[in-house]
Amino acid sequence: MSNLLDPAVLFFVFGVVAGLLRSNLEIPAAISRFLSLYLLMSVGLKGGFSLSQSGLGPHVVTGLLAAALLAVVIPLMGYVLLKRWLNKLDAAAVAATYGSVSATTFIAATQYLANQGIEFGGHMAAALVLMESPAIIMAVALASWVRRQQRNTAPVVTATQPAAEGPPLGVKAVLHEALTDGAQLLLLGSLVVGMVTGEHGKAMMEPFSSGLFKGMLAIFLLDMGLLVARQLPLLKGVPAGLLAYGLLGPLVHGALAIGLAWTLGLSQGDATLLTVLAASASYIVVPAVLRHAIPEANPGLYLGLSLAVTFVFNILAGIPLYTAVVARLWHG
């Protein structure tokens, strides 16, 4: 309930309501982009400042290895399950979306942990970047394999199936696009700046990286609420089983993360953020890449599910749920 009383979360709910009422309220695209960049820079700086104090010890390496393992296991699990309901290209696209992560969900989780007084490692910002790309690469590899199978059995384009707007991107092009995405580079760059400048940099950037953070997050979540309302029509006609995956999938992925974090002995805060990352789904970077890499896939499936179902669940209920479960396990 405490999460629902957070002003930023309430602005998100207000944005959804305003969108459903078809209000003309909107955040200009340029401002929305600026807010996204600001939040990423702030999180990166905070992570860097934290790492400058703690150093790159074994706990950092362990946390990053856990993130890398989940980034491979989750999309593979998703593909095996989803291909029972969807064609293989749609299954690969949805699996990639859920195998990747949501920076906004992660940022909201860091704010929630800060409000609860739960400490976490700055290296988890690097884990966010680390988990972004593997699912995309795996999806493109799966799509290439499926296309080869299709060419060996039947023509890709028929009289009732229009050709894609352009040739799909190759693995090399997708790898370059995923690893050089501006948001990821900004997050990593800010992390490095924070590490290099340490306490001196933290004192200088305090009004920017901390003082403005809550207000900027509230405006950004208001914009996300408006966006969610616009994406809801994409869910029309989506099978009930797939909608259930949008809710139950994150719970299963989060449970895997909790089990892994417990086994590796991660701290409570790091375990919670790892769980949030595993339970989130990308709705910006991965869908943007998939539109070119797997143009045959239906964007209404992977974008509608990740944004209008999973993102909403995580913001309203998932983050406090994962936090409570980890706290109960870590403290008995």
Confidence of residue 180 (pLDDT cuts 50, 70, 90): low
**Rounded Cα gap, residues 186 and 126, in angstroms:** 11
pLDDT(46) > 60? yes
Q: Dump pLDDT digits (tens) for 159-176.
A: 334 444 455 555 566 556
Higher pLDDT, 170 or 43: 43
What is the CB neighbour count within 10 angstroms for residue 17? Answer: 13
**Rounded Cα gap, residues 103 and 125, in angstroms:** 9
**Rounded Cα gap, residues 129 and 315, in angstroms:** 20
Question: Can you give the pLDDT at residue 176?
Answer: 63
What is the CB neighbour count within 10 angstroms for residue 245? Answer: 22
pLDDT(206) > 80? yes
Q: How far is CA 64 from the centre of its chain?
A: 16
Section 260-282 average pLDDT: 96
Its sign, for the CA torsion 241, 246, 250, 253, is positive
Spatial CB neighbours of 270, under 8 Å, sequence gap ≥ 6 = 59, 63, 120, 121, 124, 261
Q: Provide the b/e sequence for 129-154 (b: ≥16 CB within 10 Å).
A: bbbbbbbbbbbbebbbebbeeeeeee
**Rounded Cα gap, residues 131 and 72, in angstroms:** 9
Check: CB of residue 187 under 8 Å from CB of residue 43: yes
**Rounded Cα gap, residues 125 and 122, in angstroms:** 6
Question: Can you give the pLDDT at residue 48?
Answer: 86
Q: Looking at residue 197, which CATH number applies to its domain?
A: 1.20.1530.20
Count the domains in the chain.
1
Q: Helical H runs in 55-133?
A: 58-82, 88-99, 103-116, 124-130
Question: Can you give the pLDDT at residue 315?
Answer: 94
Q: Which whole-number Å values give the CA distances from 63 to 66, 94, 171, 235, in the listed order?
A: 5, 26, 28, 35
Domain that holds residue 15: 3-331
Higher pLDDT, 168 or 329: 329
Q: Helical H runs in 207-298?
A: 213-231, 240-264, 268-279, 285-293
Spatial CB neighbours of 30, under 8 Å, sequence gap ≥ 6 = none
Question: Can you give the pLDDT at residue 56?
Answer: 75
Tokens of 217: 């997050």
Higher pLDDT, 259 or 292: 259
- Per-chain mean pLDDT for the chain: 85
Q: Which residue, among 313, 199, 186, 292, has the nearest Cα to 245 in the 3D structure?
A: 313
Spatial CB neighbours of 226, under 8 Å, sequence gap ≥ 6 = 15, 16, 18, 19, 25, 26, 27
**Helix, strand, or coil (residue 7):** helix
